[in-house]
Amino acid sequence: MARSPFHPKALVEDRRSVGAGTRVWAFAHVMRGARVGRDCNLCDGCFIETGSVVGDRVTVKNGVSIWEKVHVGDDVFIGPNAVFTNDLRPVSRRRDDLRPTFVGQGACIGANATILCGLTVGRYAFVGAGSVVTRPVPDHALVYGNPARRRGWLCRCRKSLVFRAGSARCACGLRYRLAAGRVREAAR
Ligand SMILES: [Zn+2]
């Protein structure tokens, strides 16, 4: 018999909420009604709440909680003890005005970073360790600090992009255009 992808000490309330090939490590908890894609790694001590969405090939390192209304795209890396939120004005009883957070495909959230709710972290963006993100993060932006500010632009491969006349070409071969404060991949 194939080895279970779930550690015997993992708590997966409904196995149907977890895609094929996803591994759930010890003391991680996936609630019923959460949606987790394929080939993810949910490391020790994660909590995936009802109403959250995790894409495919996502790594969630130890001690991360993905709350209701947090949407994590494909190929995202979430560093250890990163913090998401879903309520700007928390009170002790349940509220109905939770705000969503979106993390775009290929983004990386550094260890111990905090992401306030109601924001989007763009595709292939990088949030430095320990940052506090209080504003939306554009695609391919490198941000860090408290509050996190944009410090540069990064290729998909994580190398810095240097724009000249609105164009950049990474050593890996990918090309980008910068216009109106937004970076887009250009045709090769
Ligand atoms: Zn590159």
The model's pLDDT over 133-188, given as tens digits with 9 standing for 90+, comes to 999 999 999 999 999 999 999 999 999 999 999 999 999 999 999 999 999 999 86
pLDDT at site 188: 67
Q: Are residues 18 and 82 in the same domain?
A: yes
Distance 53 CA to ligand 1 centre (A): 28
Asked, as a colleague might, if the bond just before 8 is cis with ω within 30 of 0, I would say: no
Tokens 């004005």 -> residue: 89
Q: Are residues 117 and 134 in the same domain?
A: yes
CATH classification at residue 34: 2.160.10.10
Residue 70 counted as domain residue: yes
Q: Are residues 136 and 73 in the same domain?
A: yes
Strand pairing class (120-121; 101-103): parallel
Distance 76 CA to ligand 1 centre (A): 17
Do 52 and 71 contact (CB within 8 A), yes or no? yes
Q: Are residues 171 and 134 in the same domain?
A: no
Distance 187 CA to ligand 1 centre (A): 14
Q: Are residues 73 and 129 in the same domain?
A: yes
**Cα-based distances in Å from 46 to 27, 39, 53, 56, 179:** 7, 16, 14, 16, 38
Distance 107 CA to ligand 1 centre (A): 14
Q: Are residues 116 and 187 in the same domain?
A: no
Residue ranges in the chain whose pLDDT is less than 50: 1
Number of independent structural domains in the chain: 2
Residue 35 counted as domain residue: yes
Q: Are residues 173 and 159 in the same domain?
A: yes
Q: Are residues 169 and 95 in the same domain?
A: no
Q: Are residues 182 and 145 in the same domain?
A: no
Computed from CA positions of residues 9, 11, 12, 18, in that sequence, does the dihedral angle turn out positive or negative? negative
Distance 145 CA to ligand 1 centre (A): 24
Distance 176 CA to ligand 1 centre (A): 10
Count of other CB atoms within 10 angstroms of residue 112: 14
Distance 125 CA to ligand 1 centre (A): 13
pLDDT at site 69: 97
Q: Are residues 141 and 165 in the same domain?
A: no
Distance 174 CA to ligand 1 centre (A): 6
Q: Domain range spanning residue 186? A: 155-188
Residue 5 counted as domain residue: no
Q: Are residues 147 and 166 in the same domain?
A: no
Do 59 and 77 contact (CB within 8 A), yes or no? yes
What is the rounded distance in angstroms from the CA atom of residue 106 to the CA atom of residue 97? 28
pLDDT at site 127: 98
Distance 83 CA to ligand 1 centre (A): 28
Q: Are residues 34 and 90 in the same domain?
A: yes
Distance 175 CA to ligand 1 centre (A): 8
DSSP code at position 21: T
Residue 3 counted as domain residue: no
Distance 161 CA to ligand 1 centre (A): 8
DSSP code at position 135: S
